A and B are shown apart, each in its own frame.
Chain A
Amino acid sequence: MGVITKTVRAGLLATVCGVSLLAVSAPGAYATGMPQLDFANPLVTGQVMWGAIIFFVFYLVLSKAMLPGVARVLHDRSQRITGDLEVARSAKQDADKAVAELQQARKDAMAEAQAHLQKVLDEEHRAAEQQMQEINARLASEIADAEKNVAAEKARALSALKEIAADTTQALVQRLTGVAPDAQLVAQSVESASAHRSII
C-alpha cells in the first residue's frame, strides 16, 4: 500500500511538472473560431499551469486533511455499531442462558414434585395395603376365633348329644319296660352306638 501511495504522489508530482512544462512550452497553434483552440493565447495554456497547481493543492488538502477526517468518522461509527452489536449479542446470550436456566429449574421442580407425589402416593398405597392386611389379619383371627367357638359349641353340643341320647334312651327304656335301666349301661351303649355310627 505504502509503495503505491508513494507512487501515486510521485506520479502526480511528475505529472504536474510535466504538464506545467508542456503548458509553458506549448507551441503557438493556429487560431480558429473556437477560443479553446487558440493556443497562441497565453491564457489558454496558462489555465493548464494554474489548473495543475490548483488540482495538486486540491489533491493534497483532500488526501491529507479532508478525506482522513471522513474516514475517521465512518470508522468510528462502524466500530461503535460493531461494539453495540457485540454488547447486544452478549446480552441476548445472557438472556438466553437465563431463560434456559429458568426452564431447567422449572423442569427440575416439576420432576421433583412428580417424584414427591409419587412417593406420597406410594406411601399412601403402602399404608392402605398394610391397613388392609391388618384388617384382613384381624378378620382372619376373628374368623378363626369364631370358628373355634363354633367348634367348641359343636363339640359341646355333640357331647351333650350323648347325654341327651343317654337320657332319652333311659327315658324310653323306662317307659317301655317300666324299669329304670342302669345308667352305666345306657351310657356305654350310647357310646358304642355313636362310635358305630361315627357321628362325631
Chain B
Amino acid sequence: MAGGSSINVLEQFELHPVLGGLGEALRFSQSPLYMIAAVCLVLAFLYFGMRPAAVVPGRLQAAAEVCYEFIHNMAVDTIGPEGAAFFPFIFTLFFFILAGNYIGLLPFSFTFTSHIAVTFAMAFMVFLLTVVVSLKVQGLRFFAHFMPDGASPFLAPLLIPIEILSFLSRPVSLSIRLFANMVAGHVMFDIFASFVVMLAGFGVVGDVFAIGPIAINVALMALELLVGVLQAYVFAILTCIYLREAVAH
C-alpha cells in the first residue's frame, strides 16, 4: 500500500471467498458475511432491547421502540392504512441497508451496499413487489396509470413511452443512488487516507501536513454517518411512495 502509485482506491470493493474453497464453491464472499453480521446486529439490538418488555423502557428498549415507531409511522403515513401490512418489509429493508452502511464504516470492514449487484437486487425486488401489488390491487387498471389523467389523447404517443420509461427507471435510480453514495464515500476515505500514507514519506514536514487529510477523514466520517442513515431512509421512503401508488385505488 505504501508504494505511492500502487495505492488502489477500488481495492476495498474486491470480493474474496470466505473459507477458501468452500466459499468459492458456494460463491460466499465477505459480502454475505457482512450481511449476516448486519442482520445479526439488528436482531440482537431488537432482541436485547425488547427483552425486558418493560412498561417504562430503559435506554436500549426505548431506542428499539423508537426504531419500530419511526418505520411504522413512515409506512402508515406514506402508504396509508394498508401500510401496516408492508411495515415488516419496509423495516427489513431500512435496517438491512442502514446496518450495511454503518457496519461498512468500521475500519477493515466491507460495505455490501457499495455493490451495485446488491443494491440493484434490492431495488429490483421493490420494483417487482410494487408491480405484483399493483396488479393484485388494481388489476388491469394499473396500466391506465401510464396515461396521465386529463392529458390530450394526441399526446399519448409521447406521454405513454415517457411514463413507461420513468416507471422502468425506478429500480435503476433507486439502486444507483445508494450504490454511488456508498462507493463515493469509501473512495474518498481511501483517497484521503492514502494522502496520509504518501505524506508520511516526506519526513517531519509530511507528518505535520498529514494532519490535514486525517482531519478531513474525521469530518468525512461524520458526513458518512449522515449519508448512511439518509440513504437508507431515502430507499425506504421511496419504496413507501411506490407502494402507495400500488395500493391506491
Q: Which residues of A are in contact with B by a Cβ distance under 8 Å?
A: 1, 3-5, 7-8, 10-12, 14-16, 18-19, 22-23, 33-37, 39, 41-52, 54-55, 57-59, 61-63, 66-67, 69-74, 76-77, 80
Take A1-B85, A8-B89 as given contacts and tell me if A43 and B27 are in contact as well, using a CB distance cutoff of 8 Å.
yes
B10-66 contacts to A, CB under 8 A, are: 10-11, 13-17, 24, 26-29, 31-32, 35-36, 39, 42-43, 46-47, 50, 53-55, 61, 64-65
Q: Interface size on B (CB < 8 Å)? A: 60
B116 within 8 A of A: yes
Q: Which residues of B are in contact with A by a Cβ distance under 8 Å?
A: 10-11, 13-17, 24, 26-29, 31-32, 35-36, 39, 42-43, 46-47, 50, 53-55, 61, 64-65, 68-69, 82, 84-89, 91-92, 95-96, 112, 114-118, 121-122, 124-125, 128-129, 132-133, 136-137, 179, 183, 247
- Which 6 residue pairs are nearest across A and B when measured between Cβ atoms? A46-B27, A63-B88, A50-B32, A43-B15, A4-B85, A47-B31
CA distance A4 to B249 in the complex (A): 14
Main secondary structure of the interface of B (DSSP, over half): helix
Take A7-B136, A15-B128, A62-B92 as given contacts and tell me if A43 and B29 are in contact as well, using a CB distance cutoff of 8 Å.
yes
Contact among A8, A37, A62, A72 with B133 in the assembled complex (CB-CB below 8 Å): A8
Contact among B11, B26, B39 with A54 in the assembled complex (CB-CB below 8 Å): B39
A-B pairs under 8 A by CB, number: 168
Contact among A43, A51, A66 with B47 in the assembled complex (CB-CB below 8 Å): A66
Closest B residue, CB atoms, query A32 = B10
CA distance A13 to B137 in the complex (A): 18
Q: Is the CB of A11 within 8 A of B32?
A: no
Q: Is the CB of A80 within 8 A of B15?
A: no
Q: Is the CB of A1 within 8 A of B82?
A: yes
Contact among A7, A16, A23, A58 with B92 in the assembled complex (CB-CB below 8 Å): A58
Take A39-B117, A51-B121, A55-B96 as given contacts and tell me if A44 and B15 are in contact as well, using a CB distance cutoff of 8 Å.
yes
For A11, the chain B residues whose CB sits under 8 A away are: 128-129, 132-133
CA distance A29 to B29 in the complex (A): 19
Q: Is the CB of A52 within 8 A of B121?
A: yes
Contact among A49, A58, A72 with B27 in the assembled complex (CB-CB below 8 Å): A49
Closest A residue, CB atoms, query B55 = A77
25 contacts across the A-B interface (CB closer than 8 A):
A4-B85, A4-B133, A4-B137, A8-B86, A14-B132, A15-B124, A15-B129, A18-B128, A23-B121, A43-B15, A43-B24, A44-B15, A45-B117, A47-B117, A48-B121, A51-B112, A54-B32, A54-B36, A58-B42, A58-B43, A59-B88, A69-B50, A73-B65, A74-B68, A74-B69
